Amino acid sequence: MMNLDLLQAARWQDYELLDSGNGLKLERFGPYLFVRPEVQAIWRPSLPEKNWQAAHAVFRTTSEESGGHWEFKKKVPERWQMNYDSLKFWVMTTPGRHLGVFPECAAHWDWMMEQLAGAKRPARVLNLFGYTGLASLAAAQAGAVVTHIDASKKSVGWARENQALSGLAEKPIRWIVDDALKFVEREVRRGVKYDGIYLDPPKFGRGPKGEVWEIYQSLPLLLEACRKVLSDSPLFLAVTMYAVKASGVHLYASLEELMMKYNGHIQAGELVTRETSGKRLISQAVFARWQAR
């Protein structure tokens, strides 16, 4: 029987969801406070207005998607360091409301490290849509040989800086700027195999040569290509989806079909963040992940 889980990244020290409401969320990234849009926060804020007014910056939207700009109330450095356990990384405000880290994904980082540690054998991991590299660094720290793919040259450069900052410069990570689907299809032709695959695709995007990514059309093709590059004894495969009309049920069914020939277990549900008060949860994304038994 399928059970949907609410997955939390509960071990953060440098990040907090302080409050939410009126379509907004108040968050702490390191020592700085930010207000960002959150359409799911249809309730009233719990904290007094003065707490919200203490924010260093507010993201003002100009469209339904990620368009908008930052309005700075206090001085914020161009970038600053944050930590998650022994991982160290740079964060900064970006034009697309994000800061270089999706804190809820730390639940996947911990899980991947557990799978790799439990395998007690060398493993090759493929991280698709790898952004600023934190999942790649977690896997490399756990002993994997990692291939990191992202269409943004800037994001891959940022990830390399995070590798150096974390003291993992000697770890075997291939940093590649490429279209995810085209890269995996080439790996199929080359006969390359991976023991673990992590996918964090956007709803819509473009590859470095203008390739169009549209999740409902492109993800099934990519998952099929991923199946062909899995090793004979894979350790894990995880998918996270943001801002889409889908649920963990859909992803569960996709992975069940994809991984049917392997002996393993599928977990699916939502990545959630709990307010510091402990009262309310915000759903950040849907996910499904398979692990070997």
What tens-digit pLDDT sequence spans the chain (293 residues)? 677 899 999 999 999 999 999 999 999 999 999 999 999 999 999 999 999 999 999 999 886 555 789 999 999 999 999 999 999 999 999 988 999 999 999 999 999 999 999 998 999 999 999 999 999 999 999 999 999 999 999 999 999 999 999 999 999 999 999 999 999 999 999 999 999 999 999 888 888 888 887 888 899 999 999 999 999 999 999 999 987 777 889 999 999 999 999 999 999 999 999 999 878 999 999 999 999 99
What domains can you pick out in the chain, each with its CATH number?
4-78 (2.60.40.1180), 103-292 (3.40.50.150)
Instruction: Name the token pair of 270.
Output: 């939502």
CA distance 65 to 217: 19
Instruction: Tell me the whole-structure pTM to 2 decimals.
Output: 0.94
Name the DSSP letter for residue 152: -
Give whole-number Cα distances, 264 to 91, 189, 220, 255, 259, in Å: 36, 26, 21, 11, 8
- Whether 67 and 43 have beta carbons less than 8 Å apart is answered as no
Instruction: Name the token pair of 98.
Output: 């994000």
Q: Which of 98, 162, 211, 51 is nearest to 148 (CA)?
A: 162
Q: What is the CA radius of gyration of the chain?
A: 19
